[in-house]
Amino acid sequence: MFVAKCALLVIPLLIARCYGKQAKASGGSGDEEVEAKNGTFGFNSTNNMTRFTCGMVANVAAVLLYGSSFVSVKRIETGDGMFFQWMYCTGIWSVAMIGDVMLHSPKFYPMAMIGGAIWATGSVMVVTIVKAIGLGLGILIWGSSSLLISWATSRFGWFGITADEVSRPALNYCGAGLCLLSGIIFFCVKTDVQLHPDPEIVPLLIDRRSCDTYGPASPKFWIDFVGPKRRRFIGYLLAVMTGIFYGFSFAPMLYIKSHSSYRNSMFHGASVYDLDYVYAESCGIFLASTVYFAIYCVAMRSRPRIYSRAVLPGLLSGSMWALATYCWALANNYLSAIITFPMVSAGYGLVAALWGGLLFREIKGIVNCLIFSLASCVVLAGSLLTAISNL
């Protein structure tokens, strides 16, 4: 039901975007293309209020969908998470195929698949993170580190990407510094995490050699045998690593867009719309996750831990992520990536924190709640400063 409601926000915007592309192809003025290349989306055009409204609606939808996409991990037993991750990426690819048809199959750039492969590498660790430090804290930490990496990539022009100029550099640096500070404060938060939500879960594949009675194999894996303090440290470390992977996953797409205006580049004339790269990135996500799952099956000697109850939640979570990505891409078209990225990164982390704190009771104790609230306010303030620094 939640996905259906958010899809109602996405589909009209996608349809409007498709008609906009058709109008441009049939002889439109192309002003939107010029504005995108000049980085003036939404603020110098005559219909700036309409663009701003559409961008904010898409941004809110992205925040809600991203922040809720991993709630199912808390509700079901996922074992070591490899099968859930594969189902998750399958859901992403399925929705992206529909989006590609709606957008009339924009030109496919294989380089964008590299970003998807990088993202899939980070997503392998998600289930372990949620089990180790909880849903809210995990997403907030990897959101903060992802924000810093993507900010530095765009701000300083890493990997051959054109560096972004901002009108208020001091605010921009202060915002990045606050995001870094929030990540440090989050390390002081202690969470109370339930490792196994349902002890009655039965895997589809049963290890008959390890059970004389042919009973179900144990759902436990290595994180279950780690002490609380060490588990918390591992969860923090993996969350930071996941955020780094997520932050770098946008670099290939940004590289293509940055070189679209260079006549001697192989990407000359490439689209400047983020929407046109979602399908290619999703293909990279699905391909990489399939390779990782195949390697996992080999390592497990053809006895992977597969849970029937993880199939539909995994597909649903992946579909939510894909819809959120389309919303985010729409917001970038109407506003600007340097504005939307901080807002989305902080917003979906706070949504996940509300899920984890209010519904799953991961944060307990007055001191813990105060520290968690302080860190959340700091990351929100940092994101807002980063966003308004280019207004």
SS3 374: helix
Longest distance between any two alpha carbons in the chain, whole Å = 74
Tell me which range, 48-52, 217-221, 280-284, is most confidently predicted by mean pLDDT.
280-284
pLDDT at 45: 45
pLDDT at 30: 44
Task: Select the more confidently predicted residue: 177 or 204.
Answer: 177
Nearest to 132 by CA among 189, 191, 187: 191
Average pLDDT, stretch 155-178? 80
Tell me which range, 13-27, 70-84, 250-264, 366-380, is most confidently predicted by mean pLDDT.
250-264
Which pTM value belongs to this model? 0.78
Average pLDDT, stretch 343-366? 76
Q: Is the pLDDT of residue 82 over 50?
A: yes
pLDDT at 209: 42
| Domain range summary for the chain, segments of one domain joined by + | 2-13+41-195+203-388
Q: Is the pLDDT of residue 177 over 80?
A: yes
pLDDT at 212: 38
pLDDT at 24: 43
Q: Is the pLDDT of residue 375 over 70?
A: yes
CA dihedral 17, 23, 25, 28 (to 10 degrees): -120
Nearest to 117 by CA among 326, 284, 362, 339: 284
Q: Is the pLDDT of residue 327 over 50?
A: yes
Distance CA 363, CA 225 (A): 22
Q: Over the stretch 245-296, which tens digit does the pLDDT of each residue have?
A: 998 998 899 899 888 888 888 888 888 888 899 999 999 999 999 999 999 9
- Given a contact cutoff of 8 angstroms between Cβ atoms, the answer to whether 307 and 204 are in contact is yes
Q: Is the pLDDT of residue 66 over 80?
A: yes
Average pLDDT, stretch 81-88? 90
- Residue type for position 107: K
Give the distance, in angstroms, between the CA of residue 123 and the centroid of all CA atoms in the same chain. 9
Distance CA 193, CA 29 (A): 55
Task: Select the more confidently predicted residue: 207 or 103.
Answer: 103
DSSP 307: B
